[in-house]
A = this chain, B = another copy of it.
Amino acid sequence: MARSSAGESVLTRAVRIFEAFGPDATTLQVTELARRADLHVATASRLVAELVSHGLLERGPEREVRIGVRMWELASRASPTLSLREAAMPFLEDLHAVVGHSVQLGVLDGDEVLFVERLTARDAVVNYSRIAGRLPPHITSSGHVLLAYGAPDLLERVLARPLERYTPHTVGTPEELRASLAQVRRQGFALLAGHVHEDATGIAVPVRNGLGEVVATMSVVVPNDDRATAQVPALMAAARGVTRALCGPRADRPH
């Protein structure tokens, strides 16, 4: 017996191995890894051994397997994602210090928000995002910003799927979503109270590059109260700072 019955490539299988790990499964035994990756255990064992030899996976004392440092290093050395994060970091830190609640940096990947950075707060209302985590765009303020300024076919694709509600406040119909996005475009920011978690308000603003294109979104998660809107100017100032940093040493673009 040779070759996988499904005609799969080695790379496809390796990717499936990496995808088997997640925040709830940071280490896995070979057998479980094989099960999750849908591989014969001997095959999984072999691929794991090779990935370990390359440093992309690592083994622990109980033969458990985890993501290797080399994987992160290769991903990070030349990553556009991390270039953006690095440019944004000083502004995220300042915003974090000023607002006192969790701040986030998100990008659009596929049809989802991918969170690139999140600075948490001790007294955070609730933390519903995680670094390298994803959320559907219709439920978060970040997602609303990315949809509002994104390509029209993005919105069509999002609307082609059911809009699942996380709370009674979550946008659940195409009409609601379109109205919300129109408001984002008018106001220049998204403010969603209780859409992901009942007790939290998400506020997000677009982050633009030097060409004026929206490339990311900065957001904060604050308690539901009347003072939420007061955070908007700080957010916008921070986003402008990131834009400036993304342009490099050139002069600011006129608004």
Picked from B25, B75, B81, the residue with its CB within 8 Å of the CB of A78 is B25
Interface centre among A15, A58, A96 (most CB of B within 10 A): A15
Q: Which residues of chain A in 59-100 are interfacial with respect to chain B, using CB atoms and an 8 Å cutoff?
A: 66-67, 69-83, 86, 89-90, 93, 96-97
* Interface SS of A by simple majority: helix
A interface size (C-beta, 8 A):
51
Whether B10 and A54, one on each chain, are in contact in the complex, defined by CB atoms closer than 8 angstroms, is no
Known contacts: A14-B11, A90-B120, A93-B93. The answer to whether A67 contacts B56 by CB under 8 A is: no
Known contacts: A19-B74, A76-B131. The answer to whether A69 contacts B51 by CB under 8 A is: no
- Distance, CA A131 to CA B12, complexed state (A): 28
**Which residues of B have CB within 8 Å of A12?**
50, 54
Whether B22 and A56, one on each chain, are in contact in the complex, defined by CB atoms closer than 8 angstroms, is no
- Distance, CA A79 to CA B79, complexed state (A): 16
Whether B131 and A78, one on each chain, are in contact in the complex, defined by CB atoms closer than 8 angstroms, is no
**Which residues of B have CB within 8 Å of A81?**
69, 72
**Which residues of B have CB within 8 Å of A76?**
72, 75, 131-132
Whether A82 and B78, one on each chain, are in contact in the complex, defined by CB atoms closer than 8 angstroms, is no
User: Please, what's the 1-or-0 string for A122-154, where 1 marks a CB less than 8 Å from any CB in chain B?
Assistant: 100000000111000000000000000000000
Whether A67 and B72, one on each chain, are in contact in the complex, defined by CB atoms closer than 8 angstroms, is no
Whether B133 and A89, one on each chain, are in contact in the complex, defined by CB atoms closer than 8 angstroms, is no
Additional A-B contact list (4), CB under 8 Å, known A10-B10, A71-B79, A74-B75: A22-B78, A23-B78, A26-B79, A89-B119
- Which residues of A does B touch, CB under 8 Å? 9-12, 14-15, 18-19, 21-23, 25-26, 47, 50-51, 54, 56, 58, 66-67, 69-83, 86, 89-90, 93, 96-97, 107, 109, 114, 119-120, 122, 131-133
